[in-house]
Amino acid sequence: MSHGKLDALRNAGPLILPSMLMCNFGNLERELGLLEDAGVQGYHLDVMDGVFVPNFTYGMTIVAAIRKLTKLPLDVHLMMQNPLQYIDDFADAGADIITFHAEAVDDPLPVIERIHARGLPAGIAINSKTPVSKIEAVLPRCELALLMSIEAGFGGQKFEEHVLSKFQQVRDIAGPEIVLEVDGGINKETIRSAAEAGAELLVVGSAIFRQADYKEALDELNSVVGNSTHRVTPTNGL
């Protein structure tokens, strides 16, 4: 099965994906315009249900709203119980990649199979304290592994360096095809070590959204990992 949008993100990596959790939802169209003018090539959307994690964010309505405003890939990260129940809803809303947490299910395989049935790449995520052995059996069935460098639930947490060793563990199990993603505490002090450990997609929140100029923030982060800013033509019509 071909997964063109995930492949495009990987081929541009190490690539920064803004975590939209911290964006200004009161002016979403303007936020997307600023980010795309700054050169982003995709978005990371954190869905929290208030059950699997203590925080509550948004659901498929916001995913659908963002889908209407951009053609860029939407990397949807489900931090929720019973993800299988909602795979079709998020696929219908416009997700291009769906990732769920191994800790949220007894058996991850039916969720992976449902994501694949919708023609989408499946991602498996684990929190910072969860060992890679938790997902070893299903890693070969996934297109993406998201290694949280914090405990999922809130932004602004400190990066946990012990997670860096997990990237090689996943690569040894799943081989070169799987895409490696990191989320949590990624900023100009931590982004280089994450990229050097093997992370190809780097999810960034406060290090972008707490800055006055998104382009300057992205340029600085890209310079740390040796990237030139990725310039793209804005696709939301702004």
Enumerate the active-site residues: 46, 183
| Contact partners, residue 117, CB within 8 Å, separation at least 6 | none
Distance, CA of 219 to CA of 39 (rounded, Å): 9
Distance, CA of 33 to CA of 26 (rounded, Å): 14
CB atoms inside a 10 Å sphere around CB 94: 17
Map tokens 């033509």 to a residue: 233
Distance, CA of 216 to CA of 204 (rounded, Å): 14
Phi, psi for residue 76 in degrees, rounded to 5: -100, 120
